[in-house]
Chains A and B, each alone.
Chain A
């Protein structure tokens, strides 16, 4: 029973991790159709922002939202300089953001050194019988759920959300209705970046902060959004649940590396069976 509980927490934590790292990408890639290969580096910047803040005596709980904000602002700049000239040129966007990713990794490793910087995991651990798990896992799970709900409501229930989606789906029409599509896209990209920064910041205490931080997550994040399919938010959550769950279980019974490989194989096979992604035949809203 105790073992089941701890496995349950670890499965949920894997799902939460996958959801957190994917939700920003779901906005940028799923919704805006912008391939941001530097998404992993946005996560990495979030983690470094937390590192810098905590080293300067800022409490972790304040550093995390600050990191999200900082990466969000960085995202606005990237959109303006790099993404905006390339809308509609998907492959060029891919190459340019790839270049950005390489530059960021190298720049950060020049600035901070290539070594791993640890941020102590806050809170203690809970003991259940002979097993224990970190309380921070519970924070991740709660934060993933909160983020999901906030993003869903933001894009479905607010006037910003409607205008943002209008600007993406039919820019000409949106402009005719008086929506400043360029500003909308910039803002949406910024929100996606902030979500990435938040994920990186939240994961910083559990993963080592290294320049290659993003590489560990980028492939999983893209696979999750792709497997999620057209209903961006709900699909991505479902995919995060499915892939995160299988990764966690396979890792538990074998090794994390086989878990990684299993995640990828499951994702590829799923796409063969459901080319439209999990939500391909759903008729949910977003």
Chain B
């Protein structure tokens, strides 16, 4: 921003007109970099939000400012219009849980439809108040920015003033985005980008977070749109076109995705270059833009800044260690001896297949319980029903006597269910400490409490020395412990573990036995397992599932001699031989 103001003092008034435009484009690029580079949502829609905001500024400005003498309402209205469109679109996309690719396609579709609709508004019948929409020729006579009040119109801003004001707006937006990313919410955004499933299982409402990100992104693009209309006194449907949207992506790629400040650098670099090129190849700008896009993707796959990865890992802040305090977390944890977790007549159908067939089970509070069964017994389906990843066809699930059957995974996590999936699901690029911090913060929402919890958990899972390492560098067994640690960090009352020893060495399995038994001291623990030796050493009540039903229940020592269980595990041949 200082650089921009400095440049402003050197530039001629004429140059400032162009510079202001570049800063405005940079602001749109900033909104895309925030949404895409930081939160991992690829959106074609930033230019659509920009365009809608510019039209909103025009409509409000033309109708109101002659009477009120100001365009602040127009600028605010522009931001609100863009944010509202982004929020509505975000609601449908993210609450519908459509995939990343579909988000790109839907935003593309919206942008193109806006292009067609706005282009078709040429007739005099298309007007809002005194503002003619103007079709392809656009809306004219949009007032410049001014700050007066009714009866005392302000001076319409001169072009150099507009430049300074635009730089100010960009600076404010930039710092707002920076502050947002440095907050706890910012770390959650990073977490979603890195591993959406894990973030959801930690209890964060991923859908809501994404809608917020998308809305903020829309608002920033909207600010640019409002400023654009005030800068040029004119707006047409061109920003809704594909080449316009492509340019924004190129700005971000050139400047370095995820760097924020790169959005402005990239914009200036590309615009400066294309102004220079424009003299040589006047009719081929789009051709060049397209070629750049292909070239960047094929030749420089990581984007033009090889430092991006490095920067991202630096920008995601480590939780400050200065505030470490022993003992703060001592009060947390300790399950209330209530009713624990119960299922009543749980059924899950896949097409015609009954994967889980009327299972009623009770996991009393504060106890350890194992679920075993051969492949295809329905263990994992049952586990996913408990975790909320599947919705049961019939039946209810009760936590502490209250139904949670229809709750989503993150809502269950908030009610105190900690879930560890079979395949380690951690944030590979974040440090061990940051992984646990995210888990703790989900429940506590106080940075300080979360930090205290991190230390306790690291000690418990024995990874204190590895606190600073990226989680991806841990051994397979250590990753499993880390994930258990993340589950524990939110002090859940019920812990669900799906094959916690899968792929572990003998040594690691031994340690896991102790870890799981210690978990059962403070929580209800349900373990789905395959490894009989591990189950035996846990020494807990066992339920055997077979073909989606409960086959047997009791201590492993008793079940071992149950003929039906032997049949199931060893197959028919055994029975024929044995009988």
Residues of A within 8 A of B (CB): 35, 37, 82, 85-86, 89-92, 94-96, 98-107, 110, 215-216, 218-220, 222-223, 226, 255, 257, 260-261, 264, 267-269, 271-273, 275, 283
Is B112 touching A219 in the complex (CB atoms < 8 A)? yes
Q: Which of B128-178 contact A (CB under 8 A)?
A: none
Q: Which residue of A lies closest to B115 (CB)?
A: A215
Most chain B Cβ neighbours within 10 Å, of A35, A102, A215: A102
Is A82 touching B284 in the complex (CB atoms < 8 A)? no
Q: Looking at the complex, which one of A96, A107, A260, A272 makes contact with B113 (CB distance below 8 Å)?
A: A260
B300 CB → nearest A CB, Å: 11
Is A264 touching B113 in the complex (CB atoms < 8 A)? yes
Is A271 touching B294 in the complex (CB atoms < 8 A)? no
Query: Which of B97-105, B304-312, B467-475, B551-559 contacts its partner?
Result: B97-105
Q: How far is the CA of A222 from the CA of B290 in the complex (A)?
A: 21
Is B293 touching A98 in the complex (CB atoms < 8 A)? yes
Q: Chain B: interface residue count, which band?
A: 35 or more
Question: Which residues of B sit under 8 angstroms from A257, Cβ to Cβ?
Answer: 116-117, 120
Residues of B within 8 A of A (CB): 42, 89, 91-93, 95-98, 100-102, 104-106, 108-110, 112-113, 115-117, 120, 241-243, 246, 249, 283-284, 286-287, 289-298, 301, 351
Q: How far is the CA of A228 from the CA of B200 in the complex (A)?
A: 27
Question: Which residues of B sit under 8 angstroms from A94, Cβ to Cβ?
Answer: 42, 101, 104
Question: Which residues of A sit under 8 angstroms from B292, Cβ to Cβ?
Answer: 99
Question: Which residues of B sit under 8 angstroms from A222, Cβ to Cβ?
Answer: 105, 108-109
Is B104 touching A260 in the complex (CB atoms < 8 A)? no
**Tally of A-B residue pairs with Cβ under 8 A?**
126
Is A102 touching B106 in the complex (CB atoms < 8 A)? no
Question: Which residues of B sit under 8 angstroms from A110, Cβ to Cβ?
Answer: 283-284, 287
Is B92 touching A269 in the complex (CB atoms < 8 A)? yes
Is B96 touching A261 in the complex (CB atoms < 8 A)? no
Question: Which residues of A sit under 8 angstroms from B117, Cβ to Cβ?
Answer: 257, 260-261
Q: Looking at the complex, which one of A103, A268, A283 makes contact with B106 (CB distance below 8 Å)?
A: A268
Is A99 touching B246 in the complex (CB atoms < 8 A)? yes
Is B297 touching A223 in the complex (CB atoms < 8 A)? no
Q: Which residue of B lies closest to A107 (CB)?
A: B287
Q: How far is the CA of A105 from the CA of B102 in the complex (A)?
A: 24
The contact sample of 21 A-B pairs, CB cut-off 8 A, is A37-B108, A86-B297, A86-B298, A91-B104, A94-B42, A95-B296, A98-B293, A99-B289, A99-B291, A99-B295, A99-B297, A102-B242, A103-B290, A106-B286, A218-B108, A219-B112, A222-B105, A223-B106, A226-B98, A271-B93, A272-B92
Is A219 touching B92 in the complex (CB atoms < 8 A)? no
Is A275 touching B289 in the complex (CB atoms < 8 A)? no
Contact A82 to B298, CB < 8 A, known contacts A99-B291, A102-B242, A261-B113: yes
Question: Which residues of B sit under 8 angstroms from A219, Cβ to Cβ?
Answer: 105, 108-109, 112-113
Is A98 touching B242 in the complex (CB atoms < 8 A)? yes
Question: Which residues of A sit under 8 angstroms from B290, Cβ to Cβ?
Answer: 98-104, 106
Question: Which residues of B sit under 8 angstroms from A35, Cβ to Cβ?
Answer: 101, 104-105
Q: Which residue of B lies closest to A255 (CB)?
A: B120
Smallest CB-CB A-B distances: 10 pairs: A99-B293, A102-B290, A219-B109, A103-B290, A99-B294, A272-B96, A106-B287, A106-B286, A96-B297, A99-B290
Question: Which residues of B sit under 8 angstroms from A220, Cβ to Cβ?
Answer: 109
Q: How far is the CA of A104 from the CA of B242 in the complex (A)?
A: 13
Question: Which residues of B sit under 8 angstroms from A86, Cβ to Cβ?
Answer: 297-298
Q: How far is the CA of A216 from the CA of B102 in the complex (A)?
A: 19
Most chain B Cβ neighbours within 10 Å, of A37, A96, A268, A275: A268
Question: Which residues of A sit under 8 angstroms from B102, Cβ to Cβ?
Answer: 226, 271
Given contacts A102-B290, A271-B96, A273-B96, 13 further A-B contacts (CB under 8 A): A35-B104, A37-B108, A85-B298, A91-B100, A91-B101, A98-B249, A101-B242, A103-B290, A106-B287, A226-B106, A260-B113, A260-B117, A269-B92
Question: Which residues of A sit under 8 angstroms from B93, Cβ to Cβ?
Answer: 268, 271
Most chain A Cβ neighbours within 10 Å, of B104, B109, B283, B292: B109
Question: Which residues of A sit under 8 angstroms from B104, Cβ to Cβ?
Answer: 35, 91, 94
Most chain B Cβ neighbours within 10 Å, of A82, A98, A101, A106: A98
